[in-house]
Amino acid sequence: MLNALSTGLEQDMESDIAKVLEYRYGDGMIYLPKHRPESLFNMAKTEGFIDHEGYLTRKGRSLLAKYQFA
């Protein structure tokens, strides 16, 4: 049961990170709006979805493909 809870929390966090990654523009850089928590942006960088300069990585593009938001 604990593993199921952990997996659910990870999926929620992954989904939240994917929402942050949607704030990219033509140059590929992520521009975080003021209403989004900076902690998610930092976590996305730590996890390798955004590089150290703020650009979307291949891993980030894969995550966005997994979560197609309407």
Domains of the chain by residue range = 2-66
Q: Which long-range contacts (CB under 8 A, 24 or more apart) does 17-24 make?
A: 17/43, 17/44, 17/47, 17/49, 17/63, 18/63, 18/64, 18/66, 18/67, 18/69, 19/67, 19/69, 20/44, 21/49, 21/50, 21/56, 21/60, 21/63, 21/64, 22/64, 22/69, 24/56
The pLDDT of residue 49 is 95
The pLDDT of residue 3 is 44
Residues of the chain with pLDDT under 50: 1-6, 70
**pTM for this prediction:** 0.76
